[in-house]
Structure 1
Amino acid sequence: MNADILVAGETLIDFLPERPGPITDVSRFDRRAGGAPANVAVALARLEHTPLFWTRVGDDPFGRYLEATLTDRSLPGRFIELDPKAKTTLAFVTHDETGDRSFSFYREGTADTRLEPGRVADSDLENCEWVHVGGVTLSSGRSREATLDLLERAAAAGVTTSFDPNARPELWPDEATFRSVCRDALEYVDVVKATGGELEALGFSGETVDERACGALEAGPHTVLATRGRAGSIAVARNAAPWSGPGTTSHPGYDADVVDTTGAGDAFVAGAIAALQEGRGLEETLAFANAVGAAATTAPGAMTALPDRDVVRSIRE
């Protein structure tokens, strides 16, 4: 398969609670496939932009379940690796009454920390137009080097690169390390998607999300997409951005009957990549990405709630 998008990062098991509340009060969990880059890859496939996906899971029952789930959702198996020496990462999710969630990870030395640099060859990158990575694989293990190596080589090859820091403080030794490593990644990145809180954690100052997003342009990217929850999203871009001139664009988002926000940001990322790959401008890109993200909140789970184009169209009508 000759895909023009490559997504790289973790695939893991999300255990979703039977009801909202702290983990100490939940007795039953439902197993689901998850991981931010995995969600982005599957969402792109649902939006008719099937990518290559580079990931690593354990050669264990959970890992084989994830491998089957990814291939069942049309992702090619070329870069889906089974690690015979490490387990698959597990994440227990809890929700509050509004659908917002928190995570408890079991990830010490697991397979997604063991991505190896060079697994995606330069010849593979020559056939790509876009590479997307997330921040979790930067947090520990050999995968940090592998992710930075992929971004550096993709940038050198003229491939458009995007990055979602996907801040999970429990996976990092401290905020300073998170900021330092992610700022290293930003040197090779064209497009960043982040929340206002993530932009602040990355060291970009400002009282508003818009101000922090403008600050992030100085770190390397030519485009910053910032999500603002129920308030929609904004985009800021420099002259170097191929899809617009400099300036700020915003979209108020769409109303949705929120059940579970897990994966909404990943759906937004996929919507944005798909729209930009189709040559849409930033205003239309935000509208489409917001609709994809909103649709993803209307059912439980991340991957299982990802919409196709018909669902996205119904959100926008």
Structure 2
Amino acid sequence: MSYDLLTMGRISVDIYPNDIGVGLEDVTSFGKYLGGSPSNVAVAAAKHGRKPAVITRTGDDPFGEYLHRELRRYGVDDAHVTPVAGLQTPATFCAIKPPEDFPLYFYGRFPTAPDLQIKPEEIDVQAVKDSRIFWSTVTGLCQDPSRSAQLEAHRARPREELREDQHTVLDLDYRPMFWDSIEDATEQVRENLKYVTIAIGNREECAVAVGDGSPEEQADRLLDAGVKIAVVKMGSKGVMAKTANETVISEPVAVETRNGLGAGDSFGGAFCHGILSGWDMQNVLDFANAAGAIVASRIACSEDMPTTAEVLGLLNERGRGFAA
């Protein structure tokens, strides 16, 4: 089957507090949601009417069944999600202390997690080849067999063999707690960049990939590595996208932040929707920025991903609208 977007990597159950502004030790009740960055990106794309799927693994347990059910409810194909005997589905807890403090606590991921047990021989290579966008993450490179499986998937999509409407995206989501060393992460990222057409990351994540420097310097190094579009998130200065022919900056869309944890995933799904729609880069970035801002103004991640109409509505409200 051909997908608009095929993501690969982390999945978990997000356990988010209903009590805002306090530490986990003081929370009295929680909500339960589908989580995991590439899984959230797939959900975000589904909210924009895209046909996504995710390659991942869960525990063979009730939480694993819950994640299958949630993926299907959101319109994400779960045909490439399989259980791992003997491992539990991970859970991720967070505290919500707006505007900037959202500590995460990972359970069931050490020493390994089911989604790090994706094996190369289990990859549906044809689905990887046929998808319009294939999205993977740096977290998926932190250990084998996931590391080898992800490289196998990338090798199935050589840049020179991609159609004009196809892209391979690497989300540079470096999380140090999952790695033995930053040097190991850099080595793995650079090997996988050989197959990537779009790289997306913040300044710190780009530094792991190509070294420190200005956003322009980091984008240039990503382009030198062969990517077609380098996206550098610059925090309060917005987001930059650079290609061989243009540099585009999207200013932040200011909102009252309630939980910033899902903003990047919402950005990713919206970015893919814009690329698939053939929009110019300014519109793609503005749309993705606004989508991220909407989720930051809400509590959940997957459950609160916005629709296209909601994103365009916010852009119109801020005088940055366009004809989609």
Alignment match of 1:117 (pick from 93, 116, 120): 120
Q: Find the aligned partners of 1:151 and 1:144 in 2 and give their Cα distance.
A: 11
Which structure 2 residues correspond to residues 80-91 of structure 1 after superposition, within 5 A? 80-91=81-92
Shifted more, 167-176 versus 221-230: the winner is 221-230
Alignment match of 2:241 (pick from 235, 239, 260): 235
Q: Are 1:223 and 2:224 matched, yes or no?
A: no
How many percent identity over aligned positions? 25
Counterpart of 2:260, as a letter, is T
Q: How many residues align?
A: 309
Q: Find the aligned partners of 1:186 and 1:126 in 2 and give their Cα distance.
A: 17
Partner residue in 1 for 2:46 = 45
Which structure 2 residues correspond to residues 253-264 of structure 1 after superposition, within 5 A? 253-264=252-263
Partner residue in 1 for 2:198 = 191
Counterpart of 2:7, as a letter, is V
Partner residue in 1 for 2:16 = 16
Partner residue in 1 for 2:320 = none
**Does structure 1 conserve the Cα–Cα contact (< 8 Å) formed by 2:3 and 2:127?**
no
CA positional deviation for 1:96: 3.9
Partner residue in 1 for 2:322 = none
Q: Are 1:174 and 2:181 matched, yes or no?
A: yes
Counterpart secondary structure, 1:56: strand
Partner residue in 1 for 2:321 = none
Partner residue in 2 for 1:243 = none
CA positional deviation for 1:220: 2.5
Partner residue in 1 for 2:319 = none
| Per-residue CA distance 1:123-142 (angstroms, 9 max, x = gap) | 32343222111122111231
**Does structure 1 conserve the Cα–Cα contact (< 8 Å) formed by 2:249 and 2:282?**
yes
CA positional deviation for 1:301: 1.7
Counterpart secondary structure, 1:150: helix
Partner residue in 2 for 1:209 = 215
**Does structure 1 conserve the Cα–Cα contact (< 8 Å) formed by 2:129 and 2:156?**
no
The gaps in structure 1 that reach 5 residues or longer are 239-245
Counterpart secondary structure, 1:202: helix
Shifted more, 221-230 versus 32-41: the winner is 221-230
CA positional deviation for 1:3: 2.0
Q: Find the aligned partners of 1:202 and 1:3 in 2 and give their Cα distance.
A: 28
Q: Are 1:160 and 2:145 matched, yes or no?
A: no
Q: Find the aligned partners of 2:279 and 2:150 in 1 and give their Cα distance.
A: 28
TM-score (norm 1): 0.91
Q: Provide the alpha-carbon RMSD of the alignment.
A: 1.9
Counterpart secondary structure, 1:205: coil
Counterpart secondary structure, 1:78: coil
| Per-residue CA distance 1:143-188 (angstroms, 9 max, x = gap) | 1111111111122652520010212111111211111111211111
Distance change in 2, residues 1:300/1:143 (3 Å): same
Counterpart secondary structure, 2:157: helix
CA positional deviation for 1:22: 4.9
Q: Find the aligned partners of 2:42 and 2:179 in 1 and give their Cα distance.
A: 24
Which structure 2 residues correspond to residues 16-95 of structure 1 after superposition, within 5 A? 16-17=16-17, 18-23=19-24, 26=27, 28-95=29-96
Q: Find the aligned partners of 1:23 and 1:171 in 2 and give their Cα distance.
A: 22
Counterpart of 1:315, as a letter, is L
Q: Find the aligned partners of 1:155 and 1:41 in 2 and give their Cα distance.
A: 23
**Does structure 2 conserve the Cα–Cα contact (< 8 Å) formed by 1:298 and 1:305?**
no
Counterpart secondary structure, 1:15: strand
Distance change in 2, residues 1:139/1:301 (3 Å): same
TM-score (norm 2): 0.89
Counterpart of 2:190, as a letter, is R
Shifted more, 18-27 versus 36-45: the winner is 18-27
Shifted more, 174-183 versus 118-127: the winner is 118-127
Partner residue in 2 for 1:151 = 154
Which structure 2 residues correspond to residues 261-272 of structure 1 after superposition, within 5 A? 261-272=260-271
CA positional deviation for 1:45: 0.3
Partner residue in 2 for 1:7 = 7
